[in-house]
Amino acid sequence: MPFTPYHWGPALLVGLALPMLFDLPALMVASVILDVEPFFVLFFNVQGYPAHAFFHSYLGASSLALLSIGMVVSLENPLRAIMQVFRLPRKPSFRRIVFSSFIGVYLHVFLDSFLYPDLTPFYPLQGNIFVNMLPADQSSAIIYGFSGIAGILGIAVYWYRLLRESRAKEKQMKTEQEQAKKLTTSGEDNLGEEVEKKDE
């Protein structure tokens, strides 16, 4: 928060570029689920609880990774339908879902660590060693910029995958047509030979 969707940039890139390692829907859900915490704090005006508290630490995020796994597993059919709309075949594997969910939440903590002083990534240890690593007036621009570029690259990978798939289909159709042609010609030749033998 307030720019939750920026987390989808890196998720899109790694999820689309490395489908053998990541389950894209699990990665997309896990990479934003943490922002339920600041949403509640800001929306209900909760006093005395920081916007980025327990669930924005690696420990708290791990518990949300488990929740995310449960959600993705139970939403199997609607998620498959959404993936089909985008012409992305999905072979759900529990191992990939678990791996993607943990990577998704940890990536969220890591990126937010550079932005929010109230965030304690290594809770119960206090403090945030990352928050002063980037120049204070540029940290948002750097993190949002990085995520935006990752997202654009992710979309480029998506288009490349669609293009590669349609080329593979075209090639397969051509091969099938050629094979069918060969079969018809050899059938005609055989028929011709048989007729010649009968004539003899």
Compute the least distance from the CB of residue 56 to Zn ion, in Å. Answer: 6
Q: How far is the CB of 129 from Zn ion (least distance, A)?
A: 18
Measured at CB, which residue is nearest to Zn ion? 112
Q: List the x/- string, 108-147, binding to Zn ion by CB under 5 A.
A: ----x-----------------------------------
Q: Shortest Cβ distance from residue 51 to Zn ion (Å)?
A: 8
Q: Which of 23, 25, 27, 35 binds Zn ion (CB under 5 A)?
A: 35
d(CA 24, CA 53): 27
The answer to whether 34 touches 105, Cβ cutoff 8 Å, is: yes
Token reading at 2: 């307030």
Residue 120 burial (C-beta neighbours within 10 Å; 0-12, 13-18, 19+): buried
Closer of 130 and 158 to Zn ion (Cβ): 130
Q: Measured from the CB atom, is 64 or 157 closer to Zn ion?
A: 64
Q: Does 23 bind Zn ion (CB under 5 A)?
A: no
Residue 120 structure tokens: 């304690």
Q: Which residues bind Zn ion (CB under 5 A)?
A: 34-35, 112
